[in-house]
Amino acid sequence: MKLLRILGILFLLLTAGCGPAAPEQGGYTVEDVRGKTVRLTRPPQKILTDSLHLDETLLTLVPADHLAGVYYLDREPGISFIAEETRDLEPVLRQVTPETVARTKPDLFLASTWSDSGLIQKVEEMGIPVVVCRGPVTVEEIRDNVGLMARALDRPEAGKQVLARMDGELEETERVLKNLQGPEPVGLLVSLMSRYGGSGSLYDDLCRRAHVGNGLSRAGLKNGQPLTREAILQADPDFFLVALPYGEEKADYEKFQQQFFADPALQGLKGLERRVALPDRYVYDASPMAVYGIRALANGAYGKVLFPQGQEPLLKGY
C-alpha cells in the first residue's frame, strides 16, 4: 500500500507538468492597432522606434533617455521638433533593421502601419514586444497613437495630459480662425513627394483645421495620386505652399522648384507669384506637434501673424 501511495504521488506530480502553465505573475497587456494583444512584464525603459513621428510622440510621454536609439531625422531641426532633446543621444540610426534592433536591445519596439511588415515580424521573432501604432492620416489618429503609447508605457496620466494640451491648442486655434471674415484662401502644396497631400492625407486634415482650402483635394486628387498640370490649373490656387527642405534635400528641392515654377503651362495663374515657405516640420509632422503646423499654415495662408511662432515646446505630459 505504501508503494502504491508513493507511485500515485509521483503520477500526480508528473501529470501536473503536462497541464497548462501557470499564468505569469505581474505585468500587463495592451492591444495595438492590429488587434494583437502584446504582453509587457514591466514598463519599458529602453524603447526603439523606426520613425521620427513615433519618436516625437514618444518624447511627449517619457524623457529622451528612454530612447534605445535615435532615428537620424530626429536631429534635423527643419523637420523635427525634438532636435534639441536628441542632440547628444547615441546611437543614431539611419536605417532601422533587424540587426540594429538586435544591437540596441530595446525592451519595447514601437512601429506603425507605415512600417515594413517584415521588420515587425523579425523583431517579434527576437522575443522583443512590438506595439504597432497608426500611420496617422488625421489629427484624431495622432490622438489615438498618444493613447496607445501611454497604455504601452503604463503611463496613462501622461497620456491624458498630452491629449489635454493638444485639445487646448486646437480649441484656441479654432477660436481665432472661426472669426475670420471672407473666403478661405486656397493653397497648393509643392513637394518632392508629388503624390502626397490630396484627400485622405494628414496634410488635408491640417488644411481643414487651418481653414485653408487644399488645392490638391479640390482638384479631385486623392493621397497617393500624382500631381498633374491639369490638377494645378483646375485648383487655380491663391498661393503655392513651398515646404523648406531639411539639409540633405536642399539641392534636389531647389532644382525641382525652379523647373516647377518655370513651367509655361502655369504662367498666368493668379497665385504663381505668391509663395508661402514653411519648414518641413509644419507640413509633414505626424505627432502631437502637428497642432503647430495648423497654426503655421493659417499664418502663411492669410498672410498675417494670427498665431505667434518660434516658441513651440513639446506637448509633454510628464
Distance in angstroms (rounded) separating the CA atoms of residues 28 and 42: 7
Instruction: Assess contact for 152 and 140: CB atoms under 8 A.
Output: no
pLDDT for 311 equals 81
pLDDT for 18 equals 39
pLDDT for 309 equals 81
What the block records as the C-alpha cell of 92 is: 543614431
| Residue 104 vs residues 51, 86, 99, 125: alpha-carbon distances, Å | 15, 16, 9, 16
pLDDT for 2 equals 40
- Residues 240-253 have pLDDT tens digits of 999 887 777 777 88
What are the beta bridge partners of residue 259?
none
pLDDT for 135 equals 98
pLDDT for 52 equals 98
Residue 135 has φ and ψ, to the nearest 5°, of: -85, 95
Peptide bond into 91 cis (omega under 30): yes
pLDDT for 9 equals 37
pLDDT for 25 equals 57
pLDDT for 19 equals 36
Residues 6+ away with beta carbon under 8 Å from 201: 137, 223
- Residues 146-184 have pLDDT tens digits of 999 999 999 999 999 999 999 999 999 999 999 999 999
Kindly list the structural domains of the chain, giving each domain's residue range(s) and its CATH number in brackets, ordered by start: 25-154 (3.40.50.1980), 182-302 (3.40.50.1980)
pLDDT by 10-residue block (mean), the chain, 318 residues: 40 37 67 98 97 98 98 95 96 96 97 98 98 98 98 98 98 97 96 93 98 98 96 97 81 87 95 94 97 98 92 94
